[in-house]
């Protein structure tokens, strides 16, 4: 169960169809009615819109330092910035490359979840991502032979890590940290916020939402889960949260249609195609964005039954699945903290299917 002292139960800016909506009712006054300094900033970083807001005596410097920290991480781990560690690895296969310790940390976590999920999350999916081109002007369904070639160049066993270096051991394999690096950045922002003793803050990295503390009036932050059938701003569920992260992966965050069929960006590393498992979205709710980021992708790829079993065996990690039939399956402990706002959705306690 959740620690109710940290999470009071019951917005996401949507870019390119991102699923999570952050609903904010903000005030500049604290519990005692006194004015509280606040700072906010929006920036396009990590190929998405990043929002941050903080309240407190050190709010301005905390926000400035946090946004700069995200820029630093992007420069290290972007697959398109030529000076980044990931670009160097992807373009120098079969060569041991010295990389920053931070890149090692993220790659180690990515390999951890690749192993835990038996490859349902895989940081070496770059060849498939480039082939499909979803989210770009070149998006199209590849030929089967092309998919098979990209699949042959996918596999976390082709990535070797050492204390301060990494190596892609097979030519053609490429790393893509899009499914985990925003979570790492969110946790780094949390450290900065805590360093400056900020008790009320949120950061939204393109759908990876982290709230620190409660709102300045003492009420919980409200995090809305978007109705996956509709456009931005349409919420089907709300979670009231303190010190919580929510990361959602869905089948129309980024997608294209060809011959009447929708192809979304969450690729199954084992088939080479977008995951096809009757799910509209999966939301991971936990206290750590680094883990939740990887898990949201992996659990979506797993599908409902396998994904629910996986989550039920984890501590302090929870999941909400929305199926094409508009059934909402909640892992143990979530029913009492998630409020469904649309009667079209049917809420189901999901631990039964995990047994």
d(C-alpha 139, C-alpha 257), whole Å:
9
| Element of type H or E holding 192 | helix 181-195
Residue 327 assigned to a binding site? no
SS3 content of the chain, % helix, strand, coil (to 5): 30, 30, 45
Residue 179 assigned to a binding site? yes
How far does the chain reach from its first CA to its final CA, in angstroms?
Answer: 18
Residue 13: phi and psi, rounded to 5, are: -70, 125
Name the CA dihedral angle for 202, 204, 210, 212, rounded to a multiple of 10 degrees.
Answer: -10
Residue 247: CB partners within 8 Å, gap ≥ 6? Answer: 20, 183, 207, 208, 209, 283, 284, 289, 292, 293, 295, 296
Please classify residue 167 by burial: count the beta carbons closer than 10 Å to its beta carbon, then call 0-12 exposed, 13-18 middle and 19+ buried.
middle
Residue 214 assigned to a binding site? no
Name the CA dihedral angle for 219, 223, 227, 230, rounded to a multiple of 10 degrees.
Answer: 100
Sign of CA dihedral 294, 298, 304, 307: negative
Sequence ranges of the binding site for Mg(2+): 179, 293, 297
Sequence ranges of the binding site: 179, 293, 297
């Amino acid at each position: 169960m959740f620690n109710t002292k940290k999470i009071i139960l019951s917005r996401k800016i949507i870019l390119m169809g991102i699923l999570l909506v952050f609903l904010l009712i903000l005030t500049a006054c604290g519990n005692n009615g006194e004015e509280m300094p606040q700072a906010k900033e929006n920036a396009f970083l990590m190929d998405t819109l990043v929002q941050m807001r903080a309240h407190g005596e050190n709010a301005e410097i905390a926000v400035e330092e946090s946004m700069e920290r995200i820029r630093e991480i992007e420069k290290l781990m972007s697959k398109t910035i030529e000076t980044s560690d990931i670009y160097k690895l992807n373009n120098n296969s079969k060569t041991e490359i010295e990389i920053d310790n931070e890149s090692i940390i993220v790659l180690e976590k990515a390999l951890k979840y690749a192993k835990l999920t038996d490859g349902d999350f895989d940081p070496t999916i770059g060849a498939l991502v480039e082939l499909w081109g979803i989210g770009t002007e070149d998006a199209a369904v590849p030929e089967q032979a092309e998919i098979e070639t990209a699949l042959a160049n996918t596999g976390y066993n082709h990535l070797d890590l050492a204390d301060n270096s990494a190596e892609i051991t097979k030519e053609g394999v490429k790393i893509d940290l899009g499914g985990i690096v925003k979570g790492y950045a969110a946790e780094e922002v949390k450290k900065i916020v805590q360093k400056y003793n900020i008790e009320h803050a949120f950061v939204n990295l393109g759908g990876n939402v982290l709230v620190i503390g409660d709102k300045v009036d003492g009420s919980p932050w409200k995090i809305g889960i978007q109705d996956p059938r509709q456009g931005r701003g349409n919420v089907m569920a709300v979670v009231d949260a303190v010190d919580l992260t929510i990361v959602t992966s869905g089948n129309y965050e980024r997608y294209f249609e060809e011959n009447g069929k929708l192809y979304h960006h969450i690729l199954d590393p084992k088939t080479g195609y977008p995951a096809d498992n009757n799910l509209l979205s999966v939301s991971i709710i936990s206290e750590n964005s680094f883990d939740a980021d990887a898990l949201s992708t992996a659990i979506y790829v797993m599908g409902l039954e396998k994904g629910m079993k996986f989550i039920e065996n984890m501590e302090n990690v929870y999941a909400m699945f929305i199926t094409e039939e508009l059934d909402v399956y909640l892992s143990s402990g979530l029913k009492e903290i998630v409020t469904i706002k649309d009667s079209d959705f049917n809420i189901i306690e999901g631990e039964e299917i995990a047994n």
